[in-house]
Amino acid sequence: MQTPKDFQWLSDEIFRRFHQTLSPSTLKRLWGYFPSVRQPHPYTIDLLTRYAESLSQCMLTKGGASCNGMRRPSYVWCRPRG
């Protein structure tokens, strides 16, 4: 997660998967792209956990193949170095 497009992609992907919104700005704060002193809201953590679990389940059952139209990011998800 390094560019604004990465955060927009994840926000769109979560909406496609769960029909729930998580703004790119929220994701940027969580990843440290924007400074924040607040703790993430439980809704944010829950939604990201559900998304990660859906990816894990999909990869286990499909062997990493395309999962229900889910697009794969072309980058590694990691916290930016600071």
> Using one digit for the tens of pLDDT, what is the confidence trace for 17-42?
999 999 999 999 999 998 888 899 99
Domain range summary for the chain, segments of one domain joined by +: 4-62
Task: State the pLDDT at residue 36.
Answer: 87
pTM over 0.85: no
Rounded distance between C-alpha atoms, residue 74 and residue 70, angstroms: 13
> Using one digit for the tens of pLDDT, what is the confidence trace for 36-68?
888 999 999 999 999 988 887 777 676 555 565
Task: State the pLDDT at residue 4.
Answer: 92
DSSP characters over the chain: --SHHHHHHHHHHHHHHHS----HHHHHHHHTSS---SPPPHHHHHHHHHHHHHHHHHHHHHTTS--TTPPPPSS---PPP-
Rounded distance between C-alpha atoms, residue 67 and residue 29, angstroms: 28
